[in-house]
C-alpha cells in the first residue's frame, strides 16, 4: 500500500480542502471519515488521485501513513476531540504526531498535551483561520505546543499557508496551548470587528436613512482606504446579494438572531481572569446574547419607544474614521490579552509574529496589521498598541469623529455598544486619574478592604462614620 505523508481525521469542508491544498503542493495525503460519501468526494475532487486517498476504517487509515505518523483532527471541539484521540490511540506508536486543528478550548489542549506526552505521543493545537477558501488556497495557521513536532511538519504547513510578501502566515507560537489561545483571541477580535461593522451599517440605515445601494457602495469604497480588510470587503459583497425568489436584498430577509460557537465568550471569560480589559469583545458577545431574546425584544419595541428627532450632524467620512478608530482599539485590546496570557501561562508569545501571520489568509486580516507588526518590531515589549506614537496619533486625529457618531446614535436611539466601548476604553486608558478612588472608598466603608493613598506609602483603613 502507498504510504502517505499526512493524514486528516474529519473530511468536512475544512478537512477536505486542507488535504486538497496539501496535494496541490506535492504532498501525498490521506483522509478518514465515517461517512463513505465524504471519503469518496475527497478523491473525486483531487486532480492527482494517486496522491490522495479517502478511508472509512481507522486501521487502514493509520497503516497507510508514513512512520512516524502525522495526523490532524478536524472534528468539533470538546468531547468529539477526546473521542477521536481515544479511538486512534491504540493504533499509534511512540513519536507519532497528533494535531488538533479545531477551535478547542485552550485548557482542554493543555490537558491533552500532558496526557499524550506521558504516552510518548507528540501533540499540539493549531488554530486555523480563513474558512473554506482559506483552507483550500492558503489559510493562516497558529500552532503551539510541541515544538519538536512542529519542526517535523513545518515544511508542509509553510507550503500550504497564505503568503504575504513571500512570508508564510504560519509560525510556531509557543508552548502548551499557545496556538489555541491565540486563535481564541483572534476569534474574539473577529467578534468585535463584526459587531462594529454591523453598528456602522445600522447607523447608515436607521440613523442616516441611506438606501441599501448607497450603503453597499460605501462599504465597497471603504475597502480601498485604511479600513481595507476581509470583513469590510465581504460586507460590501453581502450587501450586493439579491434574493433569487423575491428580488429583495437578501440581507434584509435574514433573521437578526445571531449564533455563536463560544470562542468569543471564552475570550471574554479568560480576559476577566487575567484582568485584561476587552470591552469591545465583551459588548460583541453581549449583543449576540441579546439578539436571541427575539420575542421579548418585539414586545419591548411596543412600549419602550423612542420618538425623538435630532439633526443628523455626521457623514460617512466621519463614520469611516469612527470605524477605523474602534477597529484599532479592538485589535489593541486583543493584543494586550495575548501579552498577559503569555506571561500568566508561560507561552512565550512573540506579538510581532502573531501580527505577521494574521496579515493573510485569516478572517481578521487587514492592512493595519502591518502597522502593528512594525510597532512590535520597534518595541517588542510594547504594553499596548495605543502607546505606539504613530498608531496613537492616528486615533487622536479621529477621536472627534467617533464621539460625534456615538452622540448621533444615542440621540436617535440606535444601539452602538461596541462603538461606545471603544471610546470609553480610549478615554479610560488615557486618563491620568480615574474615578475608581470612589470605589476604593466604598469598599473600605462597607468591608474594611483598605486603600492606598497618593500622599504617603502604606495601606490604610478609615473610620467612615
How far does the chain reach from its first CA to its final CA, in angstroms? 85
pLDDT at site 311: 52
pLDDT at site 148: 85
Asked whether the predicted pLDDT for residue 308 surpasses 60, the reply is no
Asked whether the predicted pLDDT for residue 433 surpasses 90, the reply is no
Output the pTM of the full model. Answer: 0.89
- Residue 254 in any domain: the answer is yes
Both 61 and 15 in a single domain?
Answer: yes
Both 239 and 262 in a single domain?
Answer: yes
Both 141 and 100 in a single domain?
Answer: yes
Query: Could you tell me the three cell numbers for 348?
Result: 512565550
Is 103 among the annotated ligand-binding positions?
yes
Q: Which residue spans within 120-271 are E strands per DSSP?
A: 122-129, 140-145, 163-164, 167-168
Task: Give 345's contacts (C-beta < 8 A, 6+ positions apart).
Answer: 176, 177, 178, 181
Cα–Cα distances (Å) from 190 to 16, 66, 95, 389, in that order, read 24, 37, 36, 25
Q: Where are the alpha helices (DSSP H) in 261-388?
A: 263-274, 279-291, 294-303, 316-345, 351-357, 368-378
Both 444 and 374 in a single domain?
Answer: no
Of 115, 146, 176, at which residue does a domain stop? Answer: 176
Mean pLDDT computed over 46-71: 85
Is 288 among the annotated ligand-binding positions?
yes
Both 53 and 155 in a single domain?
Answer: yes
Both 172 and 191 in a single domain?
Answer: no
Both 196 and 167 in a single domain?
Answer: no
**DSSP letter assigned to residue 203:** I
Asked whether the predicted pLDDT for residue 305 surpasses 80, the reply is no
In the chain, the number of structural domains is 3
Mean pLDDT computed over 431-443: 84
Both 84 and 164 in a single domain?
Answer: yes
Q: Taking the C-alpha atoms of 430, 433, 438 and 440 in order, what is their torsion angle to the nearest 10 degrees?
A: 90
Percent of the chain clearing pLDDT 70 (strictly above): 97
Residue 203, number of CB atoms within 10 A of its CB = 26
Q: Which of 16, 175, 183, 320 is catalytic?
A: 183
Both 262 and 280 in a single domain?
Answer: yes
Of 176, 209, 226, at which residue does a domain stop? Answer: 176
* C-alpha span between 120 and 133 (Å, rounded): 35
- Residue 461 in any domain: the answer is yes
Both 456 and 423 in a single domain?
Answer: no
Best CA proximity match to 420, nearest among 434, 437, 403: 403
- Residue 300 in any domain: the answer is no
Is 129 among the annotated ligand-binding positions?
yes
Is 458 among the annotated ligand-binding positions?
no
Average pLDDT, the chain: 90
Q: Which of 38, 110, 190, 265 is catalytic?
A: 190
Is 111 among the annotated ligand-binding positions?
no
Cα–Cα distances (Å) from 285 to 250, 253, 428, in that order, read 24, 23, 21
Please state which of the ranges 101-105, 223-227, 276-280, 304-308 shows the lowest mean pLDDT. Answer: 304-308
pLDDT at site 47: 62
- Residue 365 in any domain: the answer is yes
Domain that holds residue 332: 305-429
| pLDDT digits 0-9 by tens, 251-274 | 888 888 887 777 889 999 999 999
Is 461 among the annotated ligand-binding positions?
no
| pLDDT digits 0-9 by tens, 339-382 | 999 999 999 999 999 999 999 999 999 999 999 999 999 999 99
- Residue 202 in any domain: the answer is yes
Both 39 and 70 in a single domain?
Answer: yes
CB-count exposure of residue 307 (10 Å: 0-12, 13-18, 19+): exposed
Confidence of residue 432 (pLDDT cuts 50, 70, 90): confident
Is 131 among the annotated ligand-binding positions?
yes
**DSSP letter assigned to residue 245:** T
For residue 200, the domain's CATH number is 1.10.1040.10
Q: Is 183 annotated as catalytic?
A: yes
Backbone angles phi, psi at 191, to 5 degrees: -55, -50
Both 109 and 238 in a single domain?
Answer: no
pLDDT at site 304: 66
pLDDT at site 62: 95
More confident residue, 433 or 241: 241
Amino acid at each position: 500500500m502507498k504510504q502517505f505523508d499526512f493524514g486528516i481525521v474529519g473530511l468536512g469542508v475544512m478537512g477536505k480542502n486542507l488535504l486538497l491544498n496539501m496535494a496541490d503542493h506535492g504532498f501525498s495525503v490521506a483522509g478518514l471519515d465515517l461517512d463513505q460519501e465524504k471519503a469518496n468526494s475527497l478523491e473525486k475532487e483531487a486532480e492527482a488521485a494517486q496522491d490522495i486517498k479517502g478511508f472509512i476504517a481507522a486501521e487502514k487509515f493509520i497503516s497507510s501513513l508514513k512512520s512516524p505518523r502525522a495526523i490532524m483532527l478536524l472534528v468539533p471541539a470538546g468531547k468529539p476531540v477526546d473521542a477521536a484521540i481515544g479511538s486512534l490511540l491504540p493504533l499509534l506508536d511512540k513519536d507519532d504526531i497528533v494535531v488538533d486543528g479545531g477551535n478547542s478550548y485552550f485548557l482542554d489542549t493543555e490537558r491533552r498535551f500532558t496526557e499524550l506526552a506521558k504516552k510518548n505521543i507528540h501533540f499540539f493545537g493549531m488554530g486555523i483561520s480563513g474558512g473554506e477558501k482559506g483552507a483550500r488556497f492558503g489559510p493562516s495557521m497558529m500552532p503551539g505546543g510541541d515544538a519538536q513536532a512542529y519542526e517535523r511538519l513545518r515544511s508542509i504547513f509553510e507550503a500550504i499557508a497564505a503568503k504575504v510578501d513571500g512570508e508564510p502566515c504560519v509560525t510556531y507560537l509557543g508552548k502548551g496551548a499557545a496556538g489555541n489561545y491565540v486563535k481564541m483571541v483572534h476569534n474574539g477580535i473577529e467578534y468585535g470587528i463584526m459587531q462594529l461593522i454591523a453598528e456602522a451599517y445600522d447607523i447608515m440605515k436607521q440613523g442616516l436613512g441611506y438606501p441599501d445601494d448607497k450603503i453597499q457602495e460605501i462599504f465597497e469604497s471603504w475597502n480601498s482606504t485604511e479600513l481595507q480588510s476581509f470583513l469590510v470587503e465581504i460586507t460590501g459583497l453581502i450587501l450586493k446579494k439579491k434574493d433569487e425568489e423575491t428580488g429583495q436584498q437578501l440581507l434584509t430577509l435574514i433573521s437578526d438572531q445571531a449564533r455563536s460557537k463560544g470562542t468569543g465568550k471564552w475570550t471574554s471569560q479568560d480576559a476577566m481572569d487575567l484582568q485584561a480589559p476587552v470591552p469591545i469583545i465583551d459588548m460583541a458577545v453581549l449583543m449576540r446574547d441579546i439578539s436571541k431574546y427575539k420575542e421579548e425584544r418585539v414586545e419591548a419595541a411596543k412600549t419602550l419607544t423612542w420618538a425623538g428627532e435630532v439633526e443628523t450632524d455626521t457623514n460617512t467620512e466621519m463614520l469611516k474614521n469612527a470605524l477605523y478608530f474602534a477597529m484599532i482599539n479592538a485589535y489593541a485590546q486583543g493584543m494586550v490579552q495575548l501579552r498577559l496570557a503569555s506571561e500568566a501561562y508561560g507561552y512565550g508569545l512573540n506579538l510581532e509574529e502573531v501580527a505577521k501571520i494574521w496579515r493573510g489568509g485569516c478572517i481578521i486580516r487587514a492592512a493595519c496589521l502591518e502597522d502593528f507588526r512594525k510597532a512590535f518590531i520597534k518595541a517588542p515589549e510594547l504594553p499596548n498598541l495605543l502607546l505606539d506614537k504613530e498608531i496613537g496619533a492616528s486615533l487622536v486625529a479621529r477621536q472627534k469623529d467617533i464621539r460625534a457618531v456615538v452622540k448621533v446614535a444615542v440621540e436617535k436611539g440606535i444601539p452602538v455598544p461596541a462603538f461606545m466601548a471603544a471610546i470609553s476604553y480610549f478615554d479610560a486608558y488615557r486618563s491620568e486619574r480615574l474615578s475608581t478612588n470612589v470605589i476604593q472608598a466604598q469598599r473600605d466603608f462597607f468591608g474594611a478592604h483598605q486603600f492606598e493613598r497618593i500622599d504617603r506609602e502604606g495601606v490604610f483603613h478609615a473610620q467612615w462614620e
